[in-house]
Structure 1
Amino acid sequence: MPAEQPTILATSGGYRQGVRTRLEFDRLLHYAVELSGASGRPPRVTHVGTAAGDQRGFNAEMDEAAWLAGFDFSHLNLFTMPNHADPEAHLLEQDVVWVNGGSVVNLLAVWRAHGLDGILHRVWQHGVVLAGVSAGSICWYQGGTTDSFGPELRAVTNGLAFLPYANGVHYDSEERRRPLVHRLVADGILGETHCTDDGVGLVYHGTELVEAVAEVRGKGAYIVTAEAGGADGTTASERRQEPRFLG
Structure 2
Amino acid sequence: MDGWLLSHVKSPRPAVCFIPTASGDAPVYIDQFMDAFTARDCEPSVLPLFRRRLDADALRTFLLGQDIVYVAGGNTADLLAIWRVHGVNRLLREACGHGRLLCGISAGANCWAQASLTDSFGPLTFVRDGLGLLPGSVCPHYDSEPGRRTSYRETVATGMLPAGWAIEDGVGALFTDGRLTQAVTRTPNARLYWVQAEEDHRTSERALPCRSLLEAL
Give the TM interval when normalised to the shorter protein. over 0.9
Is 1:244 equivalent to 2:205 in the alignment?
no
Aligned to 1:196: 167
1:35-68 deviations in Å (ceiling 9; x for gaps): 12222xx221000000011122321232122222
Letter in 1 for 2:99: G
Aligned to 1:61: 32
1:103 alignment partner, one of 51, 75, 81: 75
Q: Distance in 1 between matches of 2:44 and 2:54?
A: 14
- Kindly state the Cα deviation for residue 185 of structure 1 after the two structures are TM-superposed: 0.6
Contact 2:184 2:212 in 1 (8 A): yes
Is 1:178 equivalent to 2:145 in the alignment?
no
Q: Secondary structure at the match of 1:172?
A: coil
Q: Distance in 2 between matches of 1:66 and 1:131?
A: 15
2:5 alignment partner, one of 17, 29, 32: 32
Aligned to 1:94: 66
Unaligned stretches of 5+ residues in structure 2: none
Is 1:227 equivalent to 2:194 in the alignment?
no
Aligned to 1:216: 187
- Kindly state the Cα deviation for residue 217 of structure 1 after the two structures are TM-superposed: 2.3
Contact 2:115 2:162 in 1 (8 A): no
Unaligned stretches of 5+ residues in structure 1: 1-26
Is 1:142 equivalent to 2:119 in the alignment?
no
Aligned to 2:85: 113
Q: Distance in 1 between matches of 2:28 and 2:169?
A: 24
Letter in 2 for 1:48: I
Is 1:122 equivalent to 2:89 in the alignment?
no
TM-score by length of 1: 0.83
- Kindly state the Cα deviation for residue 157 of structure 1 after the two structures are TM-superposed: 1.1
1:115-171 deviations in Å (ceiling 9; x for gaps): 111100000110110000000000000111111101x11111111111111001001
Aligned residues, how many? 212
- Percent identity among equivalent residues? 35
Letter in 2 for 1:234: H
Is 1:163 equivalent to 2:130 in the alignment?
no
Higher relative contact order (CA 8 A, sep 6+): 1
Q: Distance in 1 between matches of 2:35 and 2:182?
A: 30
RMSD of aligned alpha carbons: 1.2
Q: Distance in 1 between matches of 2:53 and 2:213?
A: 34
Letter in 2 for 1:92: L
| Greater helix proportion | 2
- Kindly state the Cα deviation for residue 211 of structure 1 after the two structures are TM-superposed: 1.9
Letter in 2 for 1:196: I
Contact 2:137 2:161 in 1 (8 A): yes
